[in-house]
Amino acid sequence: MTGLERARRAWRRNRGEWLTFVAFVTPGLFLFAVFTYWPIVYSAYLSLTRWNLPAPTATFVGLDNYTRLFQDESFWQVLANTVVYVVCVVTAAQVLAFALAMLLNQRVKGRTFFRALAFTPYITTTAAAALAWILLLDPRLGPLSFVYNLTDTEGPHWLASSSLALWAIVLVGIWRETGFAALFFLAGLQGLPRECFESARIDGASRWAVLRHITLPLMTPVIFFLSITGTIAAVKMFDTVAIMTEGGPVYPASSTYVYHLYRVGFRDFQMGYASAFAVVFFGLTMAFAVAQFRAAERWVYGGD
């Protein structure tokens, strides 16, 4: 019996299951094709054109947009700003979140309230959080003005300084992401096998030894998950910049990549050039994700 004949018999035998599978999968594939895959392909095409958004047609220019992109100082500036934001927010948020989860995992009175309080920053709307931080950092009207007056010093204008505005945005990012990461760390800590810790205590291991050789290795899957999700959230950060600084007083000194992409495409109407930004952004993000997954094979605990 040939392979073709076996395939035909399998089709006749399982025809109903295959048709059911196709019926359920087709709507999802159609939506992905229309709203995800086609925009990616069309954006790649637009990156090869010069198109002023209100204009009816686009002019094909080949790789001119990419040549211009890599010669543009703004591109390197916002790329560096985004790298700084991602590294600082993801690293600091995970360290603080792990310490917070260790505290919230203790048996103390009111720990349910403190757990909800720790998660509050993440569920707060971005607009409300950004406005609250604008007031907090204001050297004349915010709560910090009391400290400045008490010490007879002139507080820094965080959001009016090209050197400080980015760090103000970083602070907001750390504040928001810490609660989210702490929730997952707490769930991970509560799911660790108790017998490992009991054996370590019987053997006389110190708390530091238990943390270093048992807790952290067992928590590496959670750390990896939060690294991936935190990086994705950080690289596409847009709304905090748009509300707090709009890129800062000396643009683009404190702008991020996605906000600059939006500005080029929907303020300057250079849609072809903005598409080149988007394609490079997609390529860098995919390369970084692949590198993270490959590196994870060497340090993430797999349960073996």
Tell whether 51 is covered by a domain.
Answer: no
- State residue 247's pLDDT score: 64
**Are 157 and 210 part of one and the same domain?**
yes
**Splitting the chain (304 residues) into consecutive groups of 10 residues, what average pLDDT does each group show?**
65 74 87 89 92 83 92 92 94 93 80 79 85 84 77 78 85 91 89 81 81 86 91 89 77 86 90 93 90 85 66
- State residue 248's pLDDT score: 65
Tell whether 57 is covered by a domain.
Answer: no
Tell whether 225 is covered by a domain.
Answer: yes
- In CATH, what number is assigned to the domain containing residue 149? 1.10.3720.10
**Are 74 and 158 part of one and the same domain?**
yes
- State residue 20's pLDDT score: 83
**Prediction pTM value:** 0.86
- State residue 117's pLDDT score: 81
Tell whether 53 is covered by a domain.
Answer: no
- State residue 3's pLDDT score: 58
Spell out a b/e string for 198-212, using b for 16 or more CB atoms within 10 Å of the CB, else e. Answer: eebeeeebeeeebee
**Alpha helix stretches (DSSP H) within the chain:** 3-13, 15-32, 38-46, 64-70, 73-104, 111-123, 126-137, 144-150, 165-190, 194-202, 207-210, 216-235, 239-244, 257-266, 271-299
- State residue 49's pLDDT score: 92
Cα 229 from chain centroid (whole Å): 6
Whether the CB-CB separation of 63 and 48 falls below 8 Å is answered with yes
**Are 180 and 265 part of one and the same domain?**
yes
**Are 38 and 178 part of one and the same domain?**
no
Cα 57 from chain centroid (whole Å): 35
> DSSP code of 52?
B
- State residue 144's pLDDT score: 76
Tell whether 52 is covered by a domain.
Answer: no
**Are 10 and 156 part of one and the same domain?**
no
Tell whether 9 is covered by a domain.
Answer: yes
Number of domains in the chain: 2
- State residue 4's pLDDT score: 65
**Are 124 and 191 part of one and the same domain?**
yes
**Are 42 and 73 part of one and the same domain?**
no
Tell whether 127 is covered by a domain.
Answer: yes
- State residue 139's pLDDT score: 80
**Are 80 and 176 part of one and the same domain?**
yes
Count CA atoms closer than 13 A to 55's CA, side-chain side.
12
- State residue 152's pLDDT score: 74
Torsion angles phi and psi, residue 216, rounded to 5:
-65, -45
* Residue that is written with structure tokens 């069309």 in the block: 42
In order of 17, 224, 257, 301, the CA distances from 298 in angstroms are 40, 12, 30, 8
- State residue 82's pLDDT score: 93
Whether the CB-CB separation of 46 and 55 falls below 8 Å is answered with no
In order of 29, 94, 213, 227, the CA distances from 185 in angstroms are 34, 9, 17, 12
CA proximity to 173, closest of 248, 224, 253, 244: 244
CA-based angle 182:186:191, to the nearest 5? 150
3-state SS, residue 187:
helix
- State residue 65's pLDDT score: 93
Q: Extract the tokens encoding 239.
A: 């709304």
**Are 98 and 239 part of one and the same domain?**
yes
What is the rounded CA–CA span in Å between residue 14 and residue 16?
6
What is the rounded CA–CA span in Å between residue 82 and residue 292?
18
Tell whether 58 is covered by a domain.
Answer: no
Q: Which domain holds residue 90?
A: 64-299
**Are 124 and 253 part of one and the same domain?**
yes
CA proximity to 193, closest of 109, 301, 97, 112: 301
**Are 178 and 207 part of one and the same domain?**
yes
